[in-house]
Structure 1
């Protein structure tokens, strides 16, 4: 009976949609010009400079010379922020949410989690931030920090991080960055290699230095982002040879009339702004040397692609500032007067793990208009919404699917669906505050399914970008008008991209219908190389026709409109026993869309004829699957080692693989369900949630060997 009723209702809905289309098509066509939207989406966006596919590609809207600065009058990062202060002086600059209280919450398994209840955002103006960073820079000079001498910022993303960075840019102190989740060995390596004497850190991370200071003999000062009270007792646990000051104490020192001073050595474009240590996905972190000119060039291209950037915007900051994507996004935002509100992955949404049930996450309070995200965040949003839809009634599920398909078809024809946006999708928009007008995805490939879902359900374009630390995060960004998915867009105006033949993988610039090859990025945004590592610098960088290029190791193809699609990665490509090549990341991108999968690492051995997989399952969905298999109320850890559950998940992934058009040898023959979530602090993924393959493979080596012995 229910099915009959649903069919009747949807028959009525379809009939109403036809009537609605007939009534509105003419006024909508006149006002919205869908033909013009399709033309903008399909326009030529980049082309080879001389028509040869082996030559570099540039954006068609590039100036004759590659762009090098967001504003002609600004040559360095300190000049960029000073301009922002002069233009936007009393407007909101950096915002931090007030912590009202912390509460311990007992979980069903007996563990206690700390939950927070937060208030409103408190804001500092551009002028106020400039005063603080001037005091901080003067204070650093007063306690022995020298121009052009490296200084480390080792802290979570927060307003003080950006204030410290801007102080260092102004006073020409090269900033060394390390991810806050790195282990002791990586911290010691970065500190000693960069020879820092002054470290800026947070109260939460100060304890990391207690047991390792003896292995970092050059460190003389620890500056802590907190009030005096939390670290008074901790000071006694550190040697007398190290001076510990709070952020506020250093600002007071710098504000003293005897200490306040202008920069001793004003930075130039060629001066080092940042030595950014990579997340170490393939070994010991490498320090990437980034000059003021490199970052200015990169931001000039990024800002050009973000239309309408200005003081009416609000950006939510929660990704690691030690990652070039976040650092350049925030710096570019500030240069255009955008207010930045700080958050963290643990407090971002109402459902985030540290937010007390019934209270609001940061994004609900801030209501940002701009947001950057890595694919793992978007994949979680995608799965979260679909899980909620599937848990509803058959009628609500069918209604959502009808609206989703209707809007998808409309968008492909250049139309939008204002009625469905208002009635249905506006509720989903509220998950991200309700005001979001643009999202930027970077750091890893974003699946086409997730990108399309975000475009439809959150009613804002998701711009996919491509860049690396070695290119200041700049390379390509999709056009805001581009309605396609799965591509990373044309080159930015600051750089050019050329493809280089990779014969071993059979990727050639003469391939048809599109030229293919290794992606090389050239321009002023390409960095100087690796710190104290000339061998790796020589291997990864090259100069062609007088321009510095970075050899990315990624395989791309330029499509008809000049947009780049990343199709493979040399290091992810494994040749199987019978000669077939398998792209591990391509398989992972397809299979992680399963609702049963939270994280996945595909492993392939050249001596074998198939691949295998390590899967971190979704607890809720794997429990529901187990109940259908007659395993209700079985503990999660036992489910992960149950043969029936493993077989059911393997079957689900095989089905998804076939739908995603994976070859038979690309679909895992065996899998292991892992109970441990792969978080940055476990060392199994980077702060951008990229897999550390070697670390994962080493940890699970016995399981991998066992799977292959039975494959």
Structure 2
């Protein structure tokens, strides 16, 4: 999608003349030495082939004989993978954390107080030191009574201690129960009780805010291990619960009698992680992931990252309780990469907790690899494009011309080094300036945002598709495939079939592309849900060759080159009163690129004839629009103003028509929300997926109003 601008005809003509002269001069050497023809050939080749008929299963062209299941010979459990990396890269940097120099409270114009921090450089633990820290911690946990094959929980923010704890558990065959740090008390208690946990690893902040209020609801819990160094004493906790510092547990593990204690290493089929999903519907489910499952998934993901080695630096900030982040970090550990830790509040120079004028984490770390969910990429896209709109007309015109020129060039396989250096360098510096690959997962990424990241950050976006139930592995686009809207071909560890869905009208015999429910099979498909046999029977099955398969509930179509496109989801499909089917996810995806929208949830009742929507508007854009209409007041007053609802609805309708949505798919009424949807509000998951059930409950009065009940 090209950017539009009020380009002066003479300036446009001048730009195109310069481009033509420049292209003519460099055409011959650039054609011979740029590698464009090779990239185009790779982009156009078949990436996967159906093994039997149009429904599949589809396999990557380099895994048609058998599916990959391991990175290296003999490394069939996660503790062996880490031990091998520690031997191969003993003195290489492994885990990095920034030093906190100072923090202060900053009063905002609205009276709220934000905490701002100034952070120093990254301090690093080598692979050898990380291995030693994990070994001592594992021995200490065993000395505290943690038994092999007995579950241990972790509820902690993404940080170096999370991975050290995980590796310690892998070494001693303690199945690790992962819980999101943003889960509510009842959900955390449910996970701890269901998994019969006696030991939990957490942080000081989460212990005080999340765990302390529910300790009495978890009768089996005996030991709480806090990863922070201070304080050393923890008074005021219920009798029978002991609170320890991580350092103290490591010191306990270092005692000769504990170091010499024999450990029981895991087998490939043993449970490595019980990962509780973020729960977009109902109570979180625990997914049992074996060592062999995770290794297969990591093997598949690593194959899609060219030239991955110890020279790469990865920035970790997504929740490690999410399979995307855990898998990505395991990929890095297995290849000797550096992992520098961050958070969404300190990621960039402009992030909410970074004091103005000081460096964000990407500036300090300069990562080469990064994973992100579409919600974060959409925010970056909208923020940059808003700044483009505020540029001087001449600057804006040059940016748009360069943007459209580069989009045309990359579609032909060419690089644009001059544009990258002169026009996009400042945008690229937002992520440190060295990023060579962005991995997107968790939800579909819009074509406009993907193309923006390709162009302005000067790197490919590997859009992936996978689920907790498949170790995050399924598909990832290849780096030289610059097409948009697709999620790539199956990874070398998995194969994908399409299952007919009669109710939705999707069939593997559809033309021009076979369509149906996506079914993923392979060694990365997990062991099933913890203590939930009924759900296991519904979602998992084993074929005649003893291969496990998972029914995703997502609807996809395969293109002739073997790449998959996600086109619908069973749970998102609603039948209106007149019989039309509306894909709520499709409506949301089409409208989220509207600059006035930060987030949107489409809703439809089968007893009604039209779609409605809940919208989190962009505060800057909506405030400016309100000023144009002469509407004053607080942010809440503006959002609650019926006139503003109608103004935003008109803009949404215009965007929907431009996106070629059907008449019955366009929301007829909306509710503006002054409150942003964050994992803390309970209205979205940690991966920023909408929690439709919670959103429906939250906006029940508005639903009744918009459908005429009130």
Return the TM-score normalized by structure 2.
0.98
**What is the CA deviation profile of residues 293-315 of structure 1, one whole-angstrom value per residue up to 9, with x for unaligned ones?**
10011111111111111111000
Distance 1:677 1:122 in 2: 34
What aligned pairs does 1:561-576 form with structure 2 within 5 A after superposition?
561-576=561-576
Counterpart secondary structure, 1:644: helix
Distance 1:548 1:700 in 2: 40
| Equivalence for 2:301 | 302
2:208 is the counterpart of 1:209: no
User: Do 1:6 and 1:395's aligned partners in 2 also have CA atoms closer than 8 Å?
Assistant: no
2:520 is the counterpart of 1:518: no
2:432 is the counterpart of 1:433: yes
Task: Provide closer, same or farther for how the CA distance between residues 149 and 279 of structure 1 changes in structure 2, counting only shifts above 3 A.
Answer: same
| Equivalence for 1:130 | 131
Q: How far off is 1:4 after superposition?
A: 11
| Equivalence for 1:344 | 343
**What is the CA deviation profile of residues 452-509 of structure 1, one whole-angstrom value per residue up to 9, with x for unaligned ones?**
1100110000000000000000000001111101100000000110000001101000
Counterpart secondary structure, 1:498: strand
User: Do 1:171 and 1:263's aligned partners in 2 also have CA atoms closer than 8 Å?
Assistant: no
Distance 1:687 1:695 in 2: 14
User: Do 1:170 and 1:263's aligned partners in 2 also have CA atoms closer than 8 Å?
Assistant: no
Task: Provide closer, same or farther for how the CA distance between residues 12 and 221 of structure 1 changes in structure 2, counting only shifts above 3 A.
Answer: same
2:664 is the counterpart of 1:662: no
| Equivalence for 2:473 | 474
Distance 2:141 2:450 in 1: 45
Q: How far off is 1:664 after superposition?
A: 0.9
What 5-or-longer segments of structure 2 have no aligned partner?
Answer: none
What aligned pairs does 1:131-530 form with structure 2 within 5 A after superposition?
131-207=132-208, 208-229=210-231, 232=233, 235-261=234-260, 264-530=263-529
Q: How far off is 1:36 after superposition?
A: 2.5
Distance 1:180 1:532 in 2: 22
Counterpart secondary structure, 2:357: coil
Q: How far off is 1:33 after superposition?
A: 3.7
**What is the CA deviation profile of residues 202-244 of structure 1, one whole-angstrom value per residue up to 9, with x for unaligned ones?**
0011112222211111000000011132x63xx2210231111
What aligned pairs does 1:531-570 form with structure 2 within 5 A after superposition?
531-545=530-544, 546-570=546-570
What 5-or-longer segments of structure 1 have no aligned partner?
Answer: none
Q: How far off is 1:9 after superposition?
A: 3.2
**What is the CA deviation profile of residues 534-571 of structure 1, one whole-angstrom value per residue up to 9, with x for unaligned ones?**
00010011122321100000000010100000100000
Distance 1:557 1:62 in 2: 20
Distance 1:85 1:42 in 2: 39
Counterpart secondary structure, 1:13: helix
User: Do 1:613 and 1:670's aligned partners in 2 also have CA atoms closer than 8 Å?
Assistant: yes
Q: How far off is 1:612 after superposition?
A: 0.5
User: Do 2:304 and 2:476's aligned partners in 1 also have CA atoms closer than 8 Å?
Assistant: yes
Q: How far off is 1:54 after superposition?
A: 2.3
**What is the CA deviation profile of residues 152-172 of structure 1, one whole-angstrom value per residue up to 9, with x for unaligned ones?**
011000000000000000110
Distance 1:155 1:34 in 2: 45
Q: Which moved more, 1:450-459 or 1:538-547?
A: 538-547
Distance 2:41 2:609 in 1: 46
Q: Work out the number of aligned pairs and report it.
A: 704
Q: How far off is 1:15 after superposition?
A: 1.1
**What is the CA deviation profile of residues 270-289 of structure 1, one whole-angstrom value per residue up to 9, with x for unaligned ones?**
10000000111100000000
User: Do 2:615 and 2:672's aligned partners in 1 also have CA atoms closer than 8 Å?
Assistant: yes
User: Do 1:328 and 1:472's aligned partners in 2 also have CA atoms closer than 8 Å?
Assistant: yes
User: Do 1:172 and 1:263's aligned partners in 2 also have CA atoms closer than 8 Å?
Assistant: no
Counterpart secondary structure, 2:257: coil
Q: How far off is 1:411 after superposition?
A: 1.4
Distance 1:577 1:95 in 2: 56
Counterpart secondary structure, 2:382: helix
Counterpart secondary structure, 2:158: coil
Counterpart secondary structure, 1:258: helix
| Equivalence for 1:14 | 16
| Equivalence for 2:91 | 90
Return the TM-score normalized by structure 1.
0.98
Distance 1:4 1:269 in 2: 61
| Equivalence for 1:116 | 117
User: Could you say what the CA RMSD is over the residues aligned between the two structures, in angstroms?
Assistant: 1.4
User: Do 2:55 and 2:508's aligned partners in 1 also have CA atoms closer than 8 Å?
Assistant: yes
